[in-house]
């Protein structure tokens, strides 16, 4: 069953926390992956890969650059699950 | 008169790597030396790649020169001379002549003529491809002693302003002699390709552009770094696992893991994905040698042996992966 936006955010926060060491509550919708969370393009690919596995979605490499904020990723994953 | 049955050569039980030789570019190039044109810093390059320095050869040194240096060390290590070698395989993507093959010239330089000699183009997977070929040739009886060399002068194909790959690259050659063995010393090679991702790593333009577009200039290398990172980190771990499975060993039964030295962060991710125990020694030669493409696995292995981190007979899982995209992995018994 598809996860709600809230569930996707919670799951994504765990993945980001695992990759970066940041607390999960730092991962909120309006945060930018690069500017606020200091996540570079390689770490972003690790996060995307784990998100693909966790939410059973496919995120093509060319789409990753459009995921600027946590909210962008949550929205993308939620739509991709639908 | 009946048609005679063709005779086949007698075949050994297995093959093994008898020795490894290494040649690294003579010049140590620091991150500070190259950071300016890419508007970067030592800190960024180290954080991004794990590279502290890379080794680059002098301008007049060729792929064949590097190959010869490594090959002579490997011959000495195996207690053989060039005359004992009946097959020479060079893996390179930076030899300037499409023909004749670097391998034929190398064979002649080391006194191996009339050994069979050819080059292969499998980029950063080249050494593992060559090990797979040499193993099959020796076990089939088609060859007895095969000299394999992964050799690259990557510095001839870099663009100092390129932020995608040039700053990673170094020059060097790694050679090995593969010969017959009573017990298998090279496990099954697990290999493959994915040409649908040919654009992920390659030249800025093909050679024919220099004819058709007068200002095209000399091609240099480029990669889509994040895409290659994702592929190498997450799709190569299952390939390495398949090589372990094919050899009938588990991660806690190997002593070393030597992946292609592409980026320290790929190496770290592979270790994580493979759940390697801490007892496994990791090839991390990239820190001071850089990414030397086909040379990187034998160079990293040579270093582990030279520094006494592993010993003869230890099992090493090695995996090469790169432009093509191509990949190859196998478990070897160290010489």
Chain B interface test: which of A33, A46, A48 (most B C-beta within 10 Å): A46
C-beta atoms of B230 and A45 within 8 A: yes
Q: Give the mean model confidence (pLDDT) for residues A23-30.
A: 94
C-beta atoms of A45 and B229 within 8 A: yes
If one looks up domain B190-333 in CATH, what number appears? 3.40.47.10
Count residue pairs from A and B with Cβ separation < 8 A.
28
The CATH fold of domain A5-81: 1.10.1200
Alpha-carbon distance B227 to nearest alpha carbon in chain A (angstroms): 6
- Span B205-242, pLDDT tens digits: 999 999 999 899 999 999 999 999 999 999 999 999 99
d(CA B113, CA B107): 6
Chain B residues within 8 angstroms (CB to CB) of chain A: 48, 224-227, 229-230, 233-234, 263, 265, 269
Which residue from B74, B114, B109, B71 is spatially nearest to B90, judged by alpha carbons?
B71
Alpha-carbon distance B218 to nearest alpha carbon in chain A (angstroms): 28
Q: How confident is the model at residue A1 (pLDDT cuts 50, 70, 90)?
A: low
C-beta atoms of B225 and A42 within 8 A: yes
Question: Is the alpha carbon torsion for A59, A62, A64, A66 positive or negative?
Answer: negative
d(CA A57, CA B300): 37
Residue A41: closest CA among chain B residues belongs to which residue?
B226
Portion of chain B with pLDDT greater than 90, in percent: 98
* Run of H or E including B105: helix B102-109
pLDDT beneath 50, residues of chain B: none
C-beta atoms of B224 and A41 within 8 A: no
Q: Which residues of B touch A64 (CB under 8 A)?
A: 226
Residue B48: closest CA among chain A residues belongs to which residue?
A42
Q: Which residues of A touch B196 (CB under 8 A)?
A: none
Homologous superfamily in CATH for domain B14-181: Thiolase/Chalcone synthase (3.40.47.10)
d(CA B120, CA B141): 21
Chain A residues within 8 angstroms (CB to CB) of chain B: 40-42, 44-46, 48-49, 61, 64
d(CA B45, CA B265): 12
d(CA B49, CA B287): 8
B227 closest CB neighbour out of A40, A46, A61? A61
Q: Where are the domains of chain A?
A: 5-81
Write the burial class of residue B75 (CB in 10 Å: 0-12 exposed, 13-18 middle, 19+ buried).
buried
Looking at the predicted structure, is the pLDDT value of residue A70 above 80? yes
Residue B49: closest CA among chain A residues belongs to which residue?
A42
Alpha-carbon distance B76 to nearest alpha carbon in chain A (angstroms): 42
Q: Which residues of B touch A40 (CB under 8 A)?
A: 48
Alpha-carbon distance B230 to nearest alpha carbon in chain A (angstroms): 6
Check residue B1 and give its pLDDT.
78
Q: Where are the domains of chain B?
A: 14-181, 190-333
Which residues of B are the active-site residues? 124, 260, 291
Any residues with CB less than 8 A from the CB of A44 and at least 6 apart, and which?
A33, A64, A67, B226
Alpha-carbon distance A58 to nearest alpha carbon in chain B (angstroms): 13
* Run of H or E including B328: strand B326-333
């Amino acid at each position: 069953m598809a996860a709600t936006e809230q569930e996707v955010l919670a799951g994504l926060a765990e993945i980001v926390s695992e990759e970066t060491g940041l607390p999960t509550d730092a991962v909120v919708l309006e945060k930018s992956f690069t500017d606020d969370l200091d996540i570079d393009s390689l770490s972003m690919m690790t996060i995307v890969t784990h998100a693909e596995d966790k939410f059973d979605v496919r995120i093509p490499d060319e789409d990753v650059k459009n995921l600027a904020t946590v909210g962008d990723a949550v929205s993308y994953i939620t739509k991709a699950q639908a | 008169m009946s048609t005679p049955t063709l005779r086949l050569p007698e075949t050994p039980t297995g093959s093994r790597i008898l020795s490894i030789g290494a040649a690294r570019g003579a010049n140590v190039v620091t991150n500070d030396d190259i950071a300016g044109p890419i508007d970067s810093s030592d800190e960024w390059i180290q954080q991004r790649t794990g590279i502290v320095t890379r080794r680059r050869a002098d301008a007049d040194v060729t792929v064949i020169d590097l190959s010869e240096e490594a090959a002579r060390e490997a011959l000495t290590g195996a207690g053989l001379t060039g005359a004992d070698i009946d097959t020479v395989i060079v893996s390179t993507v930076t030899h300037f002549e499409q023909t004749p093959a670097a391998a034929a010239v190398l064979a002649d330089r080391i006194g191996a003529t009339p050994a069979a000699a050819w080059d292969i183009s499998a980029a950063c997977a080249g050494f593992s491809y060559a090990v797979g070929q040499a193993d099959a040739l020796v076990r089939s009886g088609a060859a007895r002693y095969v000299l394999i060399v992964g050799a690259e002068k990557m510095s001839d194909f870099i663009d100092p302003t390129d932020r995608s790959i040039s700053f990673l690259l170094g020059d060097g050659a790694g050679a090995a002699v593969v010969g017959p063995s009573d017990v298998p010393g090279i496990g099954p090679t697990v290999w493959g390709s994915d040409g649908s991702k040919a654009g992920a790593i390659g030249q800025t333009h093909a050679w024919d552009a220099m004819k058709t577009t007068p200002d095209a200039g000399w091609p240099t290398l480029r990669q889509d770094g994040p895409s290659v990172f994702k592929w190498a980190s997450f799709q190569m771990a299952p390939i390495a696992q398949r090589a372990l499975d094919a050899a009938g060993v588990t991660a806690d039964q190997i002593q070393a893991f030597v992946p292609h030295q592409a980026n320290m962060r790929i190496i770290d991710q592979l270790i994580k994905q493979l759940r390697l125990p801490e007892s496994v020694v990791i090839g991390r030669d990239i820190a001071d040698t850089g990414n030397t493409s086909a040379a990187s696995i034998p160079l990293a292995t040579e270093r582990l042996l030279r520094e006494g981190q592993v010993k003869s007979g230890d099992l090493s899982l090695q995996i090469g992966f790169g432009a093509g995209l191509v990949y190859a992995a196998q478990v070897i018994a160290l010489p």
